[in-house]
Amino acid sequence: MDQDSAAAAFAALSREPIRTGTDYIDSLRGRKLRVYLMGDAVVEPVDHPIIRPSINAVAETYDLAIENPEVASVMSPLTGERINRFLHIATSPTELVMQNKMQRRLGQLTGTCFQRCVGMDALNALHSVTYDLDQKYGTGYHSRFNAFLGRIQRENVVIGGAMTDVKGDRGKSPSEQADPDLFVRVTKRTKQGVYISGAKAHQTGCLNSHWLIVMPTMRLDVGDKDYAIVGAVPVDAEGITYIYGRQSCDTRSAEDGSIDAGNARFSGQEAMIVFEDVFVPLEHVFMDGEVEFASSLVERFTCYHRRSYVCKTGVGDVLIGAAATIADYNGVERASHIRDKLVEMTHLNETIYGAGIAASHQGTGMKSGACLPDEMLANVCKHHVTRLPYEIGRLAQDLAGGLMVTLPSERELRHETIGPIIEKYLKGRPEIATEDRIRILRLLENMTLGRNAVGYLTESMHGAGSPQAQRIQIARSMQIEFKKELAKSLAGISSASLAEIENDLSTYMARVFAPVRN
Ligand code: SF4
Ligand code: FE
């Protein structure tokens, strides 16, 4: 970034930097948002009992940066100051790995989706895509992007990366849809900027963000020019409506007491975002009409995001801990089959982490200076995530026992007549309070069937692309011809030398054998 654009970015500073989780929560108050939840317009999301736990989860990303700056903050080459890691462009494999370590820690602290990685991964992908766009077309997107980046780093705000369109008929391209709004598109262009309409589906943490970066969701053709739009809009821009997604057992968060919610403090958040002629000023437009770059953006974003799913290993740590705790409370922790199930859960959890962190370790530098994780390993990581948390969840339920889904409510526990009966008959080991046993069972329910199963299971399946999307990427990079040559050479079918075979190396294998750098 040159000095002029850095100066411009700082001149645009419009809010005091947010420091703590409490500052962050305060920063969300008083916005003019149009939000619907269960048929009602929500006046202040911050105070809504169903929404608040998701805000608390994002607040942890601020507090961690203060409590553990090495993990969750970093020096920004753009501002020369220490900034939250979620707003940093990783320039080395080490910095990608540190993103993963931060994600695992936050998963451990919240037991849910802390929502901030979509923005981080969008910023990282856009850094190299806007650079490449400018190289090809001399468009100036990269300096605009850097000006925006400097500003948000300084202000320490939350960015939501909005990619997934509602998509309509999956067999048709955006411009072929019966309704043109089924993918977000430009409806009007003026000298000052563009207007966009359409909807983004199940957008993680959108209400808890300060800005949304809208991006195309898939490869586009020449006829889809109006759909090749990337732009940043404030979440409370005129013309945006949020329709909040229900989560399993979400109304428990609105009940009295803290037991039945399972994890009363934290949850994830998804909502549908509807854009009706929302204005995006030119300074916040980072792509407009360059259809051939849509696929690079989607591929790079998913490459970052699919290895970001090591977040689930932090959540898995909590679930394994909950399963071990209930075994302990039941007096069976030392039984060999219980130990074995805990070992299996750990093995599965670390398998996800291993693939994710390896994807980061094997990152490669882009021309813009950003570092991109290894595509093959990022896809393998996310593909594990579509399956292994289900097995970890199954084992957790195995250890929990049926009581997990048949427990009476907290009201019965507190009831004058029924409470003592519950105390007596739901006791495990005598030295463990019945209430504690109930609490850990409710947490297990929360993570495998309730609010946080949204993030731990189904979101693991479909977030950052459903399983088939990863299989397509893995198929593209698996270099089966190269592997056949290896086999033929050893079987004496082909006499090609290893040197000749290696000449064919491209993509994934080339990275496997590339020297390690930091
Ligand atoms: Fe981050 Fe995981 Fe939530 Fe995605 S699902 S935003 S990677 S915590
Ligand atoms: Fe996600």
- Sorting pLDDT into bands at 50, 70 and 90, what band is 445? very high
Is 113 known to be catalytic? yes
Q: How far is the CA of 308 from the centre of ligand 1 (A)?
A: 7
Which amino acid is residue 410, in one-letter code?
Answer: E
- With a cut of 90, say whether residue 2 has pLDDT above it: no
- With a cut of 90, say whether residue 392 has pLDDT above it: yes
Tell me how far the alpha carbon of residue 152 is from its chain's centroid.
19
**Ligand 1 closest atom vs CA 112:** 8
Of 288, 317, 306, 280, nearest in space to 106 by CA:
317
Residue 514's pLDDT is 73
Residue 481's pLDDT is 85
> Residue 143: phi, psi to the nearest 5?
-70, -35
Task: Kindly state the average pLDDT of the residues 405-432.
Answer: 98
- Write down the catalytic residue from 24, 88, 113, 304: 113
Percent of the chain with pLDDT over 90: 90
Consecutive H or E run containing 75: strand 73-75
Residue of 303, 308, 457 to mutate, ligand 1, most atoms within 8 A of C-beta: 308
Whole-angstrom Cα distance, residue 163 to residue 113? 17
Q: How far is the CA of 118 from the centre of ligand 1 (A)?
A: 7
Question: What sign does the CA torsion over 85, 86, 89, 93 have?
Answer: positive
- Sorting pLDDT into bands at 50, 70 and 90, what band is 508? confident
Token pair belonging to 243:
């329709």
**Ligand 1 closest atom vs CA 455:** 5
Higher pLDDT, 412 or 16: 412
Q: Is the C-beta atom of 57 inside 6 A of ligand 1?
A: no
- With a cut of 60, say whether residue 135 has pLDDT above it: yes
Q: Is the C-beta atom of 372 inside 6 A of ligand 1?
A: no
Query: Over the stretch 299-330, which tens digit does the pLDDT of each residue have?
Result: 999 999 999 999 999 999 999 999 999 999 99
Map residue 142 onto helix, strand or coil. Answer: helix
**Whole-Å CA distances, 274 to 44, 227, 462:** 19, 15, 21
Higher pLDDT, 476 or 397: 397
Is 459 known to be catalytic? yes
Residue 324's pLDDT is 98
Map residue 85 onto helix, strand or coil. Answer: helix
Query: Over the stretch 236-264, which tens digit does the pLDDT of each residue have?
Result: 999 999 999 999 999 999 999 999 999 99
Is 390 known to be catalytic? no
Bridge partners, 188 (sequence order): 195
Is 117 known to be catalytic? yes
Query: Over the stretch 156-195, which tens digit does the pLDDT of each residue have?
Result: 999 999 999 999 999 999 999 999 999 999 999 999 999 9
Is 435 known to be catalytic? no
Residue 386's pLDDT is 98
Whole-angstrom Cα distance, residue 276 to residue 290? 23
- Sorting pLDDT into bands at 50, 70 and 90, what band is 513? confident
- Write down the catalytic residue from 311, 313, 383, 485: 311
Lowest mean pLDDT of 126-130, 136-140, 491-495, name the range: 491-495
Can you give 108-122 as a three-state secondary structure string? HHHCCCCCCHHHHHH
Q: How many CB atoms lie within 10 A of CB 134?
A: 17
- Write down the catalytic residue from 131, 304, 309, 456: 309
The DSSP secondary-structure symbol of 43 reads S
- Write down the catalytic residue from 117, 249, 371, 381: 117
Q: Is the C-beta atom of 311 inside 6 A of ligand 1?
A: yes
Q: Burial level of 406, CB count in 10 A (0-12/13-18/19+)?
A: exposed
**Whole-Å CA distances, 146 to 6, 210, 241, 283:** 8, 18, 28, 11
Task: Kindly state the average pLDDT of the residues 414-437.
Answer: 98
Which amino acid is residue 233, in one-letter code?
Answer: V
The domain at 3-293 falls in which architecture?
Beta Barrel (2.40)
Is 206 known to be catalytic? no
Domain ranges of the chain: 3-293, 308-476, 479-513
Ligand closest to CA 60: 1
Q: Is the C-beta atom of 110 inside 6 A of ligand 1?
A: no
If you write DSSP's letter for every residue of 344-368 in order, what string do you get? HHHHHHHHHHHHHHHHHHT-EE-TT
Higher pLDDT, 12 or 174: 174
Is 204 known to be catalytic? yes
Ligand closest to CA 107: 1
- Write down the catalytic residue from 127, 305, 361, 384: 305
Q: Is the C-beta atom of 463 inside 6 A of ligand 1?
A: yes
Query: Over the stretch 22-40, which tens digit does the pLDDT of each residue have?
Result: 999 999 999 999 999 999 9
Percent of the chain with pLDDT over 70: 95
Of 204, 196, 3, nearest in space to 116 by CA:
204
Q: How far is the CA of 408 from the centre of ligand 2 (A)?
A: 33
Is 381 known to be catalytic? no
Cβ atoms of 412 and 419 within 8 Å: the answer is yes
Query: Over the stretch 266-290, which tens digit does the pLDDT of each residue have?
Result: 999 999 999 999 999 999 999 999 9
Bridge partners, 165 (sequence order): 200
Query: Over the stretch 37-55, which tens digit does the pLDDT of each residue have?
Result: 999 999 999 999 999 999 9
End-to-end CA distance of the chain: 23
- With a cut of 80, say whether residue 14 has pLDDT above it: no
Its pTM stands at: 0.94
Whole-angstrom Cα distance, residue 330 to residue 372? 47
Of 268, 280, 273, nearest in space to 34 by CA:
273
Token pair belonging to 409:
């409510």
Whole-angstrom Cα distance, residue 318 to residue 111? 6
Map residue 231 onto helix, strand or coil. Answer: strand
Map residue 431 onto helix, strand or coil. Answer: coil
- With a cut of 90, say whether residue 358 has pLDDT above it: yes
* Average pLDDT value for the chain: 94
Cβ atoms of 330 and 261 within 8 Å: the answer is no
Beta strand pairing call for 73-75 and 82-84: antiparallel
The DSSP secondary-structure symbol of 206 reads S
Q: Is the C-beta atom of 459 inside 6 A of ligand 1?
A: yes
Which amino acid is residue 266, in one-letter code?
Answer: F
Angle at 445 between CA 441 and CA 448, to 5 degrees: 135
- Indicate which residue's Cα is closest to atom 1 of ligand 1: 117
Q: Is the C-beta atom of 117 inside 6 A of ligand 1?
A: yes
According to CATH, the superfamily of the domain at 308-476 is Butyryl-CoA Dehydrogenase, subunit A, domain 3 (1.20.140.10)
- Indicate which residue's Cα is closest to atom 8 of ligand 1: 113
**Ligand 1 closest atom vs CA 309:** 7
Q: How far is the CA of 139 from the centre of ligand 2 (A)?
A: 30
Which amino acid is residue 405, in one-letter code?
Answer: V
Residue 297's pLDDT is 98
Bridge partners, 84 (sequence order): 73
Q: How far is the CA of 406 from the centre of ligand 2 (A)?
A: 31
Residue 10's pLDDT is 47
Ligand closest to CA 115: 1
Q: How far is the CA of 510 from the centre of ligand 1 (A)?
A: 30
> Residue 495: phi, psi to the nearest 5?
-105, 15
Whole-angstrom Cα distance, residue 270 to residue 264? 18
- Indicate which residue's Cα is closest to atom 5 of ligand 1: 113
